Structure 1
Amino acid sequence: MCYEHDISDTISHRDTLPPPSVLRHVVDVHCHPTDSEITVKTMDNLPIIIGAMSTLQADQGLVRDLATAFPNKVVPSFGYHPWFTHWIALAPYESKEAHYRRIFKDADEHPEAFQKLLEHAPEPVTLQTVLEDVRQNLMDFPSAMLGEVGFDRAFRVSYDYFSSPGELSPFTTPFEHQLAILEAQLDLAAELGRNISMHSVKSQMATVELLDRMADRHGERWMKISIDIHSCGLSPQTWLSIEKRHPNVFLSLSTVINSRSPNHRALIAACSSRRILVESDSHKIDDSTQHTWDMVLIVAEVKGWLVESSWDEVVDESQQGVVRRLESNWREFVQGNHVGPNKLSKRTTRERQ
């Protein structure tokens, strides 16, 4: 049989990729290729499919262009990331300064920092404008997802994201502001029937409550779409609670983020074999394939799945390798139309292997 049985040996040689016949079935469900320079040659040579995320006003068009140029390799995602939600006004505002003072209630406690932030901050855009932009992009690309959207309790706002992203201000975007923008985007995804790539950091209970709320609010419409919690950092216990109550929620993992903590292996072990996806979360397209493949190998190791070294041999379902299993999960994610938890039959032991 055409498999690599010694997974640990495979992982120790991560600079070695499988043949194109295997890689063409690998999907990097979440990456940021437009954050760096992309050449036609690089895209022509890209052996996998990528889910290209947008995050702020400046890169929505870049993702559009990439998906238009390479429709067979790029699944575009349009949305606004929580790190940039302070640039979005929930309602009309009197002035730029008034908007940012409304966001950062502690501006008077850090007058110099606020003035520095104000100097570099863009003119705010209204939530209505954001939603109109996302709606148009999603309608223009029938296979597009909503993403990257979410919430994040850990980040601090950069003074000038474009020139000095590492220089952070003392300010944080209020969670309630992030949540209002996130929910408005999720409502749009439910309306249009689009899958979602979601960011969640230091927000475990908020994530559980949000998913419950969206399921109650949208009912069958919500069950028609799939949600991926990307670079998932939830505890295994929290994930199992979500998995049981929300059949339309998947998780994806990346070595860039998740390998920082040993928790990701426990999460893989706990997760249903049908809910796992892989990603690179890379900001350089040249790194996407290798980073995604690294995570494929980790999933295979933890789950005890075989790793395909060829795509030619036909095998029965019980002997399917990790790439086939992950590809099947991706298909299920894309197709949506999930069965509600009250209609789910008891999972078999095989499904969790």
Structure 2
Amino acid sequence: MSTTLPPREVLAHLVDVHCHPTEELNISDEVMRALPIRLCSMSSNFDDQDKVEDLYNGYPDKVIPCFGFHPWFYHEISLVEPVPSKEDHYRSLFLQPGSAKEGELDRLVPLLREPVALSKVIQIVKEKLLKYPNAMVGEVGLDKSFRIAYNPYPAPPPRKLSPFSTPLSHQMVILEAQLRLAVELKRNVSLHSVGAQQPTVELLQRMSQNYGKDWLRISVDMHSCGLSADVWKTKAHANIFLSLSTAINSRSDKHRQLIRECDEHRLLAESDYPEAGMCASQTWSMVETIADIRQWPVETEWDEKEPDPGNWGVVRRLERNWAQFCKGDHPEIVHKSRRLRKQHEHYPSDESTEEDE
């Protein structure tokens, strides 16, 4: 598969829907000005909310800012107010009574941040979102595989891992608080899910039930999606999109089946890369993969006169999908069984009786 980028006139219609350029120590002005695509720059923790804001303010035509807290940092957030001491917070979070891991925790706690109240976290995100009407919520999510490191981020890898993971129940409270904010402010979401397929599916069902049409006003992107192809076959949620990255998803062939099964109108592409200068080539790599699997043409030039939709290339299709993602306001999916039931209620059979009704 070719690694040569198409002309800038083609790339100008492409969006990297999930990346982390602020993880670079020094983002080159030359690189940012030369970027041929737009980037959805994700926040993750207490250190990078302002960095994403600054990157957007420096390059508003290149960056879509995204504010939120990633599950790798949920252990730093207290669900209790007033916030307990640092030691009490991490003991209650990581240790069961009589645990044999007390020594490990004693070693870890001095390396960790002082905990911050969830209400403060939501306040931080809300202030950023209100300041920037085009901002998304992200990166947020669930991660059952992640373990806290003894040399925690932003220390460079390799990182020595502790035996401690943030309980899923703790993660869920923080994630749902951020999703409530997204619904309240009508902001789209970039969602992380690793090792948590069933809890994620149940979460999406719960959000749909709890918020109804308000939930459908926003779009949610399952970034570097690891959910099974069977989940996408159900087409249960009209507002859920799927994006894939070569950096993460190409580690297994499962992503190819995901691309085949996903509704073509809900596919997006991303780099998930921490270097701005690599985002275009990494995103284009996934664009080529999508085109190959779906047998869509790949644009080598851009015709401003829109062709027949049946002849659209992969970039034009992804551009359409991104526009719908940004727009939100998705229609409710009415499943066949509900349609039949509604038809039966509207057109009762001749055999119906008052007792049946």
Q: Please report the TM-score for the alignment, with normalisation by the length of structure 2.
A: 0.90
- Is the Cα–Cα contact under 8 Å of residues 95 and 101 in structure 2 kept in the other structure? no
Partner of 1:8: none
Partner of 2:87: 97
CA root-mean-square deviation: 1.6
Q: Deviations over 1:239-274 (max 9, x none)?
A: 222xx2210000000000100010100110011110
Q: Deviations over 1:119-155 (max 9, x none)?
A: 1101111100000000000001101000000001111
More divergent stretch after superposition (302-311 vs 154-163) = 154-163
Report the count of equivalent residues: 332
User: Are 1:307 and 2:336 an aligned pair?
Assistant: no
Partner of 1:339: 331
Specify which of 118, 139, 144 is matched with residue 148 of structure 1: 139
Deviation (angstroms), 1:102: 0.9
Partner of 1:204: 197
- Is the Cα–Cα contact under 8 Å of residues 158 and 164 in structure 1 kept in the other structure? no
Letter of the structure 1 residue corresponding to residue 94 of structure 2: F
Specify which of 6, 14, 27 is matched with residue 18 of structure 1: 6
User: Are 1:64 and 2:40 an aligned pair?
Assistant: no
Q: Deviations over 1:160-206 (max 9, x none)?
A: 32225521111011000000100000001000000000000111111
Please list, as runs of the form range in 1=range in 2, the aligned pairs for 1:1-353 lying within 5 A after superposition: 11=1, 13-14=2-3, 16-36=4-24, 37-92=26-81, 93-106=83-96, 108-161=99-152, 162-163=154-155, 165=157, 166-241=159-234, 244-312=235-303, 314=305, 315-342=307-334
1:331 and 1:343 mapped to 2: Cα distance? Answer: 25
Partner of 2:342: none
- Is the Cα–Cα contact under 8 Å of residues 88 and 127 in structure 1 kept in the other structure? yes
More divergent stretch after superposition (85-94 vs 141-150) = 85-94
- Is the Cα–Cα contact under 8 Å of residues 150 and 160 in structure 2 kept in the other structure? yes
Name the SS of the counterpart of 1:168 in structure 2: coil
Name the SS of the counterpart of 1:294 in structure 2: helix
1:23 and 1:204 mapped to 2: Cα distance? Answer: 33
Deviation (angstroms), 1:106: 4.3
When residues 313 and 71 of structure 1 are mapped into structure 2, their CA distance, relative to the original with a 3 A threshold, is closer
Q: Deviations over 1:291-344 (max 9, x none)?
A: 000000000000000000000363211100000000000000000000011289
Letter of the structure 2 residue corresponding to residue 79 of structure 1: G
1:213 and 1:157 mapped to 2: Cα distance? Answer: 28
Deviation (angstroms), 1:94: 2.8
1:168 and 1:58 mapped to 2: Cα distance? Answer: 21
1:295 and 1:34 mapped to 2: Cα distance? Answer: 22
Deviation (angstroms), 1:237: 0.2
- Is the Cα–Cα contact under 8 Å of residues 254 and 280 in structure 1 kept in the other structure? yes
1:180 and 1:42 mapped to 2: Cα distance? Answer: 39
Partner of 1:7: none
2:335 and 2:103 mapped to 1: Cα distance? Answer: 57
- Is the Cα–Cα contact under 8 Å of residues 254 and 292 in structure 1 kept in the other structure? yes
| Fraction of identical pairs, as percent | 48
Q: Please report the TM-score for the alignment, with normalisation by the length of structure 1.
A: 0.91
- Is the Cα–Cα contact under 8 Å of residues 252 and 277 in structure 1 kept in the other structure? yes
- Is the Cα–Cα contact under 8 Å of residues 247 and 272 in structure 2 kept in the other structure? yes
**Rg (Cα) greater in structure:** 2
More divergent stretch after superposition (153-162 vs 71-80) = 153-162
Name the SS of the counterpart of 1:58 in structure 2: coil
More divergent stretch after superposition (108-117 vs 251-260) = 108-117
Question: Which of structures 1 and 2 has the larger relative contact order (alpha carbons within 8 angstroms, sep 6+)?
Answer: 1
**Consecutive aligned runs of 4 or more in structure 1 exceeding 3 Å deviation:** 343-346
Name the SS of the counterpart of 2:128 in structure 1: helix
Segments of structure 1 that go 5 or more residues without pairing to the other structure are: 1-10, 347-353
Name the SS of the counterpart of 1:199 in structure 2: strand
